[in-house]
Amino acid sequence: MLFNSLHFLVFFIIVYALYLVLPHRWQNRMLLAASCVFYGAWDWRFLFLMFTSITVDYICALKIHRSDDERTRRIFLGISISINLAFLGFFKYFNFFAANAQVLLAHFGITASPMLLNIILPVGISFYTFEAITYVFDVYRRVMAPTTRYADYALFVTFFPHLVAGPIMKAKDLLPQIQNERNVNADKFFEGCHLFFWGLFQKVFIADNLAKLVDPFFSVGPPYAGAQVLLAVYAFAFQIYCDFAGYSNMARGLGKCMGFDIMINFNVPYFSAGPREFWQRWHISLSAFLRDYLYISMGGNRRGTCITYRNLAVTMVLGGLWHGASWTFVIWGAYQGLLLILYRLFQPSAQRSFFSSGPAARKIWSGINVIFFFHLICLGWLIFRASSVQQTLDMFHAMIFNFSTQPLIVKYYFLDM
């Protein structure tokens, strides 16, 4: 059930009408039922998978909180995280690793037929898995106490505005809003409507129309003209931004109408002057998760420069793989990690030389940084969007050695009109 569908409009009108007349506890129960209907509209069978994860996490969090024995606490933390990652790994990455294992064995002269399964990827599993991990981890770290109400925790995971496309809300931020009564008023309703319709405009009128330009180009093979590649990459940069940010804004708007505060997930990221700033503006909830639960858990920047660079690289590679089971996503993640490392190495000395030159030089430097880094991000989007590593190389080669403007890429936009 898509936010920009008539089915969702009817669904939300019914849900919101009930929400306005019910008391707090019944609001939560109704929202849990509505979220199950919303998710079940995709494929009801995966409700059992999601509630298995919910039940395991709920029990493990209580066991962790009630124990003072560190070994016991770590065991239940491990059980919860292992089961969540096992579900995610099986449904999202089994075929990817099986196929690549076959290729690796073939290099050593070993012939093997991989067991590939016709696996349907459960919608939203990447998002609700990470949200579940934040809950158990924060209970383990004693950042928060677990809820004793199973239904409240289940609603935190299944809450339909952010279930399938984020933002990835931390339990310590969203769960208290579920447990406490919420204030719904006209100001919040109109603010929520503004956010929802702005997100709808981003998704339907910008992202979906740019897709008509981008998708046909990336679906054909070489030879490519460099100008075409550059135009397609520029278009994709704004397509993916408006697609992701549009869904996030719609989620924020729906939550706001019901009195929930859902975090900002995108904050004009293309005005960033470097990778660190970019990841503070782009998919902020994912960036925060990778930083708080992966990068810091590996030691962050506390164990010296080399370990810091290793942690950055590993974090971004895994962040790339989170986006999809493909080598292009792995390489994109490695590329983002490389940018973070290189900017840490060279940006401070470059900034010092310009900062000593006066205010005008600083403004020029800032503008150059933004423009230059935007093009580095676009190079990353080329890797991200390409259907294969070979297509990435072919397109990059065309931009460097065949910067032709003919034939114009715009023709693809009108293929189905």
User: Known catalytic residues?
Assistant: 323
Burial 38-75 (b: 16+ CB within 10 A, else e): bbeebeeebbeebeebbebbbebbbbbbeeeeeeebee
Compute the CA torsion angle 387, 392, 398, 400 (nearest 10 deg). 160
Alpha helices in 150-299 (DSSP H): 150-158, 171-179, 186-200, 208-218, 226-257, 275-281, 284-290
Burial class from Cβ neighbours inside 10 Å (0-12, 13-18, 19+) for residue 219 reads: exposed
Q: Which tokens hold the place of 337? A: 């990690």
Give residue 323's Cα distance to chain centre.
7
Fill in the DSSP letter of residue 167.
-
Which residue type occupies 217? F
CB 398 within 8 A of CB 226: yes
Report in angstroms the alpha-carbon separations of 192 from 167, 206, 403.
Answer: 16, 20, 45
Compute the distance between CA of residue 32 and CA of residue 324 in angstroms, rounded to an integer: 28
First to last CA, the chain: 27
Q: Which residues contact 34 (CB under 8 A, 6 or more apart)?
A: 11, 15, 160
Q: Helix-strand-coil percent breakdown of the chain, rounded to 5?
A: 75, 0, 25
CA distances from 411 to 32, 207, 228, 236 (A): 47, 18, 11, 16
d(CA 232, CA 218): 8
Sign of CA dihedral 295, 301, 307, 313: positive
CA atoms within 13 A on the CB side of 119: 18
Please tell me the total number of residues recorded for the chain in this structure.
417
Q: Going by C-beta distance under 8 Å and a sequence separation of 6 or more, which residues neighbour residue 97?
A: none
Q: 407: cis peptide before it, omega within 30°? A: yes
